[in-house]
Structure 1
Amino acid sequence: MKKDYPVPAGYLERETEVKKSRFIARVAPVGSRDEVKDWLEQAHRDHPDARHVCWAYQIGRPGSAAEAAMNDDGEPSGTAGKPILWVIQHKDMGDVLVMVIRYFGGIKLGAGGLVRAYAGAAEAVLSAVERVVQTPMLEVSVTLTFADEQPLRHWCDMQGATVESVEYGEWVRARVRVPEHLQDAFTDFCHAQKLDYSLAR
């Protein structure tokens, strides 16, 4: 059975300084590439004069992430995005984006100095951010009668599942988010109630 995994509880920012260069590190929880893009656009809006906005993210379970990427944004290859991603992986956190915004202070840091500076900035913000446990969820589509809606809602309330949406027609169609580890229990409930269900696409 897959286990839950920690994700950032919310947005946080921390600033460090290395030889007059400012490194503003931001962490944010993300679940998709679109969310990553939104956060990066926000960083560029907030800091239009910054020399670099370097970043890395990891979506999914730490150690077997569904997706990960990084960007040096003009810094020498491997000196910014890679150390940020390494710190994320070391922290064993999923669904996380770290951006480091740099204002150049006039003193060159060299490749080794840049790696240490970006890793240090990522470390500072990831050490400070609160963590919450992310429970992997399944989206399920259920077809039921009007009489079955209340038992379904009751089961969801008791088990930590949520009814996301309901459409009423000849039949009731509900979209339900079920914790992944309760898939078998939900299947048993649907069979007992004679409900038609399928994993949502």
Structure 2
Amino acid sequence: MAEELYTTLAKEASAEFEEKRSLFIGYAKPTRTEEEALAFVTKIKQKHKDATHNVFGYSMKHGILARYSDDGEPQGTAGMPVLDVIRKSGVDDATVVVTRYFGGILLGAGGLVRAYAAAAKMALDAAEIVTYESYTEISLTCSYADHQKLAAELPRFGAILDDTVYADNVTLKFAVKDEVAESILARICEMSGGKLAPTILGHRFDYQA
């Protein structure tokens, strides 16, 4: 499987700031489907029922599915700036909602664009932009002696250890980046004299902090 990269958000998060007495609260969350995105928007709207505006933007499936709402702000001054920030960040499968409590001072079109974009950027930063890579998942059953050797080898290949089951033998489940999968399989064969037979379980996107 060819190596792939997938950039999204690590978690749900929020950030806020005040601009000319208006409070802007940005919320960001990784969302894999439009249903998840709309549910997140609804949750924030319910949380801030008394807000002047709850603006949102989301982008999924490499930008093929994207939508935004100005929620009553002048056209093009709120939702589109939020969506632009998402796109320019390179993030996929993400939703941002920016809540505004009006403070009595008009910001003007340019001021609104800057404020909503800033809130969206702060929310994305708080949610931590991460790049996932394609990993190969591997399962392996070995003796306790071989397990000790493997415990020393796996970190050298950047392996993520998913599970270890201790019984008569030891069963390991781990994942490595696709680009080193063949190398680690060859190393296991070499160190065991061909005795061990790893099984490739599949592939997934993952990252290491």
- Normalised by the length of structure 2, the TM-score is 0.61
Say if 1:132 and 1:191 are closer, same or farther in 2 by CA, change over 3 A. Answer: farther
Code of the aligned partner of 1:144:
T
- The Cα shift of 1:86 comes to 0.9
Report the Cα distance in structure 2 between the residues aligned to 1:157 and 1:38, rounded to whole angstroms.
40
**Aligned residue number for residue 199 of structure 1:** 202
Q: In 1, are the aligned partners of 2:26 and 2:123 still within 8 Å (CA)?
A: no
How do 1:152-163 residues align onto structure 2 when only pairs under 5 Å count?
152-163=150-161
- The Cα shift of 1:199 comes to 1.0
**Aligned residue number for residue 90 of structure 1:** 88
Report the Cα distance in structure 2 between the residues aligned to 1:31 and 1:145, rounded to whole angstroms.
39
The alignment status of 1:144 with 2:141, answered yes or no, reads yes
Report the Cα distance in structure 2 between the residues aligned to 1:169 and 1:41, rounded to whole angstroms.
48
Q: In 2, are the aligned partners of 1:166 and 1:173 still within 8 Å (CA)?
A: yes
- The Cα shift of 1:26 comes to 3.3
Identity %: 27
Code of the aligned partner of 2:50:
D
Code of the aligned partner of 1:14:
E
Structure 1 gaps, min length 5: none
Report the Cα distance in structure 2 between the residues aligned to 1:135 and 1:2, rounded to whole angstroms.
8
**Aligned residue number for residue 54 of structure 1:** 55
Larger Rg: 2
Report the Cα distance in structure 2 between the residues aligned to 1:45 and 1:132, rounded to whole angstroms.
26
**Aligned residue number for residue 176 of structure 2:** 178
Code of the aligned partner of 2:152:
H
Q: In 1, are the aligned partners of 2:56 and 2:96 still within 8 Å (CA)?
A: yes
**Aligned residue number for residue 134 of structure 1:** 131
How do 1:1-201 residues align onto structure 2 when only pairs under 5 Å count?
2=4, 11-17=13-19, 21-27=22-28, 30=30, 32-33=32-33, 43-44=44-45, 46-58=47-59, 65=62, 69-72=66-69, 74-75=71-72, 79-93=77-91, 97-105=95-103, 114-123=112-121, 125=122, 129=126, 134-138=131-135, 140-147=137-144, 148-167=146-165, 173-192=171-190, 193-199=196-202
Structure 2 gaps, min length 5: 191-195, 205-209
Task: String of CA shifts for 1:139-177, please: whole Å, max 9, x gaps.
Answer: 514142344444443332223222112346787554323
How many residues matched?
194
- The Cα shift of 1:54 comes to 2.8
